[in-house]
């Protein structure tokens, strides 16, 4: 998925030309993975581009920074306004939004505390993450041989750049083995999540997702899906899952900002089958919600022009 350029990237309060948005090779985060980031999407609506749960994402960026003892020089409100301004100046109808807070040039060595904290926000059009075909008919999953990072190795509640080496290893392993995406178990052997998505299974009409104590990120799409499902009268539980629970699921799907809501067609070659009724219903409401077509969830949208 080659990046589609837009005009400007927000860097520390300035709107910089896309091709000029550079950092020094001795940037601390490039060496030690000491950054935090977010992934957000804006969708086209009748009132222009609407960012889905923008404030919640920027709060999570602040929480991630807090876990790494990084003092962000911008408040949640300032980051929200900067994001809207970046969308406006680039004139995009819909886009993926990537805020990044990183430790810049100035100090080296493992103590990050003296480094300057810098922030950038880039936006670009980004199509379906796991493909149109996957969104419609489901993806093939593989349980990874890599374990999800233990919460006492890294604070997994943080979207920390360095933590994603774990996800990338699992992703590459799955792709090279002919699958679309990986599922990571934690060090206790329970299911945690996918490389950049949370996961849900449907069993006997109930929705089950691993608890945060599994090491899964507290996904904003995960939270939205739990709300939508409960409003539909579907019981939702956070429970530890074994890999066999995946194989025996009636339905299963993954959730994330980039991936959106994608059915799982099989796990380790055990067929789950075509997307089921609950999966399709939740997908339908989610896509209507992000486009501003669901009154019930209109508070989740933050308009770039308003
Ligand atoms: N788990 C992980 C590890 C994760 O990275 C994400 C988001 C999620 C769960 C779902 O969280 P949420 O987006 O709040 O529902 N992954 C982001 C990065 C993906 C990437 O390719 O980079 C995203 O979806 O934007």
Distance CA 64, CA 29 (A): 15
Per residue of the chain (306 residues), give pLDDT as tens.
689 999 999 999 999 999 999 999 999 999 999 999 999 999 999 999 999 999 999 999 999 999 999 999 999 999 999 999 999 999 999 999 999 999 999 999 999 999 999 999 999 999 899 999 999 999 999 999 999 999 999 999 999 999 999 999 999 999 999 999 999 999 999 999 999 999 999 999 999 999 999 999 999 999 999 999 999 999 999 999 999 999 999 999 999 999 999 999 999 999 999 999 999 999 999 999 999 999 999 999 999 997
Distance CA 20, CA 146 (A): 37
Q: How far is the CA of 17 from the centre of ligand 1 (A)?
A: 27
- Counting ligand 1 atoms within 8 A of each CB, the residue from 212, 219, 228 with the most, and so the one to mutate, is 219
Query: CB count, 10 Å around CB of 16?
Result: 15
pLDDT at 1 (0 to 100): 65
Q: What superfamily would CATH give domain 131-290?
A: D-amino Acid Aminotransferase, subunit A, domain 2 (3.20.10.10)
Distance CA 36, CA 38 (A): 7
Q: How far is the CA of 26 from the centre of ligand 1 (A)?
A: 27
pLDDT at 2 (0 to 100): 81
Whether 159 sits among the annotated catalytic residues: the reply is yes
**For the chain, where do the domains classified as CATH 3.30.470.10 start and end?**
8-124
Residue partners of 49: CB distance under 8 A and separation at least 6: 42, 43, 87, 92, 93, 94, 95, 303, 304, 305
pLDDT at 158 (0 to 100): 97
Q: Which residues line ligand 1 (CB under 6 A)?
A: 39, 167, 193, 196-198, 217, 219-222, 255-258
Phi, psi of 110, deg, nearest 5: -80, -15
Distance CA 199, CA 176 (A): 22
Specify the residue with its C-alpha closest to ligand 1, atom 12.
219
Q: How far is the CA of 218 from the centre of ligand 1 (A)?
A: 9
* Minimum-distance ligand 1 atom for the alpha carbon of 57: 14
Secondary structure (DSSP) of 89-107: HHT-SSEEEEEEEEE-TT-
* Minimum-distance ligand 1 atom for the alpha carbon of 40: 25
User: What class has domain 8-124?
Assistant: alpha beta
Specify the residue with its C-alpha closest to ligand 1, atom 25.
39
Burial readout 54-80 (b: 16 or more C-beta within 10 A, e: otherwise): bebbbbbbbebbebbebebebebeebb
Specify the residue with its C-alpha closest to ligand 1, atom 11.
219
Distance CA 257, CA 293 (A): 18
Distance CA 199, CA 42 (A): 22
Distance CA 201, CA 130 (A): 19
Among candidate residues 159, 171, 176, 281, the one labeled active-site is 159
* Minimum-distance ligand 1 atom for the alpha carbon of 167: 3
Q: How far is the CA of 40 from the centre of ligand 1 (A)?
A: 9
Q: How far is the CA of 212 from the centre of ligand 1 (A)?
A: 14
Distance CA 135, CA 57 (A): 23
pLDDT at 97 (0 to 100): 98
Question: How many CA atoms are closer than 13 Å to the CA of 47, on its beta-carbon side?
Answer: 13
pLDDT at 306 (0 to 100): 78
pLDDT at 198 (0 to 100): 98
**For the chain, where do the domains classified as CATH 3.20.10.10 start and end?**
131-290
Tell if the pTM clears 0.85, that is, is over it: yes
């Amino acid at each position: 998925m080659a990046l589609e350029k837009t005009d400007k990237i927000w860097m520390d309060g300035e709107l910089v030309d896309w091709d000029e948005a550079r950092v020094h090779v001795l940037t601390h985060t490039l060496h030690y993975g000491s950054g935090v980031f977010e992934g957000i999407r804006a969708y086209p609506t009748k009132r222009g581009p609407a960012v889905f749960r923008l404030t919640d994402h920027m709060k999570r960026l602040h929480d991630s920074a807090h876990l790494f003892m990084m003092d962000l020089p911008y408040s949640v409100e300032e980051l929200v306004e900067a994001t809207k301004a970046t969308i406006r100046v680039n004139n995009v109808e819909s886009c993926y939004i990537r805020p990044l807070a990183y430790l810049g040039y100035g100090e080296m060595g493992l103590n990050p505390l003296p480094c300057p904290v810098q922030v950038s926000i880039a936006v670009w059009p980004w199509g379906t993450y796991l493909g149109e075909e996957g969104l419609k008919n489901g993806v093939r999953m593989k349980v990874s041989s890599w374990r999800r990072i233990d919460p006492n190795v890294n604070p997994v509640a943080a979207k920390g750049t360095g933590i994603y080496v774990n996800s990338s290893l699992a992703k590459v392993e799955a792709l090279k083995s002919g699958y679309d995406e990986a599922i990571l178990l934690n060090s206790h052997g329970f299911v945690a999540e996918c490389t950049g998505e949370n996961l849900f299974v449907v069993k006997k009409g109930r929705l089950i997702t691993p608890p945060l104590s599994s090491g899964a990120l507290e996904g904003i799409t995960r939270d939205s899906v739990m709300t939508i499902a409960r409003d539909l009268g579907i019981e939702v539980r956070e429970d530890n899952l074994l890999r066999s629970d995946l194989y025996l699921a009636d339905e299963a799907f993954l959730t994330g900002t980039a991936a959106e809501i994608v059915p799982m067609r099989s796990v380790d070659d055990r067929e789950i089958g075509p997307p089921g009724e609950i999966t399709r219903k939740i997908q339908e409401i989610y896509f209507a919600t992000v486009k501003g077509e669901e009154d019930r969830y209109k508070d989740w949208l933050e308009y770039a022009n308003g």
